[in-house]
Amino acid sequence: MHTLDKLKAKHPDKIEGWYKDMDGYWVDLKYGWQDSPSSEVHAVHEPTVKEVVEHFKLVCPCDCLYCQTRGEQWLDFDVDTGKTVVMHRQQ
């Protein structure tokens, strides 16, 4: 079993899935989790599996709008108005 499969099995409440691409390894986090305190990044990305496992120790709860609405809404910056706006997923 791959190391990241073991990590997912150990933390099924936090990990949606993982994959490898030309930029390294990605662990997609489930709603309600972020890669480190106050980051609001919902994935762990590192060049090696060892670094992913180490970085995963920083994963913590997230209560951003995106997580609260399970991806239905998020905050974005409107460059025309200079204001933060709530975005909605289109049906």
For 64-82, write each residue's pLDDT tens digit. 888 888 777 767 777 888 8
Distances (CA, A) of 24 to 39, 44, 46, 50: 20, 10, 6, 11
pTM of the model: 0.78
For 7-44, write each residue's pLDDT tens digit. 999 999 999 999 999 999 999 999 999 999 878 799 99
> What's the rounded Cα separation, in Å, for the pair 39 and 76?
15
Please give the pLDDT value at position 24: 97
